[in-house]
Structure 1
Amino acid sequence: MKTTGIHHIAIICSDYERSKKFYTEILGFSIINETFRKERNSYKLDLRVGENHQIELFSFPNPPQRVSNPEACGLRHLAFEVEDIEQAVSELKAQGVEVEDIRIDEITGKKFTFFKDPDSLPLEIYEW
């Protein structure tokens, strides 16, 4: 199999309007397409991340809880690349988002930190 990249990352949220606001207004991702699927009583929101990436935000009635501790088996976290981590942290905090202290990656020497989305999904910003 020859892959050319990651097409999208899918996230299921518990409160569609709250998560839509978080990903569009706080993180600043633009909406590509929003679809309500009546037969599933579910929304699908396609969001643009940077120039070439996409998040699919789904809502389903009563989704089960998932362990989101970064050390749990499965997807550990989702990391976003930023140019200026201090500016990104300031912007997140100004929007009321709790952000961990900035750390240095001991392997690359780059700055990074973590925060959570409205469903406690661990998110990272990584200064490139």
Structure 2
Amino acid sequence: MVESFVHHLCIQTNTYIETLKFYTERLGFKVVQESPDFHGRNFNTWIQLGDFYIELQTGKQDEILCDGNANSQGLTHFCLWVEDLNTEVARLRELGTEFLMKNNEFIYYVENGSLCKIKAPEGTIVELRDNKGI
């Protein structure tokens, strides 16, 4: 097999400005390239965190994108590794980030560590994880 790695995910959104702010201001991505009027879309933007990219794009002109379904096949979330989950959760709570709680807890333990899940404005679920326990 040829060596490979994950380069990017593509996320489409009806809430471009809010979604871009979420990933850049809350999760620390940086804008690499923002292309307005991209092949019938208002925007196609590349954002980067380390070696990982998200291609963030609006629907085509006059197209309203429908919501995904958490119980459908395919991608259900993606995960970002953080150094200190407790500190990151406190920071994101202060910013008013929407959390998906489990048993009324922001952080919960699973095999191999602790995690939490947050929801981006366009509906993508982002898991944050570390291996320090609760």
TM-score range, shorter chain: 0.7 to 0.9
Q: Distance in 2 between matches of 1:41 and 1:96?
A: 29
Question: Is 1:82–1:88's contact at 8 Å kept on the other side of the alignment?
Answer: yes
Q: After superposition, where does 1:1-128 map in structure 2 within 5 Å?
A: 1-37=1-37, 39-49=39-49, 51-60=50-59, 61=61, 62-69=63-70, 71-99=71-99, 100=101, 101-106=106-111, 108=112, 110-128=113-131
Question: Is 1:68–1:122's contact at 8 Å kept on the other side of the alignment?
Answer: no
Q: Distance in 2 between matches of 1:19 and 1:59?
A: 10
Please list every run of 5 or more consecutive structure 1 residues that lacks an aligned counterpart in the other structure: none
SS in 1 for 2:46: strand
Please list every run of 5 or more consecutive structure 2 residues that lacks an aligned counterpart in the other structure: none
One-letter code aligned to 1:87: T
- Report how many aligned residue pairs link the two structures: 124
One-letter code aligned to 1:111: S
Following TM superposition, the consecutive aligned residue runs of length 4 or more in structure 1 with deviations greater than 3 angstroms are none
Q: Share of identical aligned residues, percent? A: 26
One-letter code aligned to 1:41: R
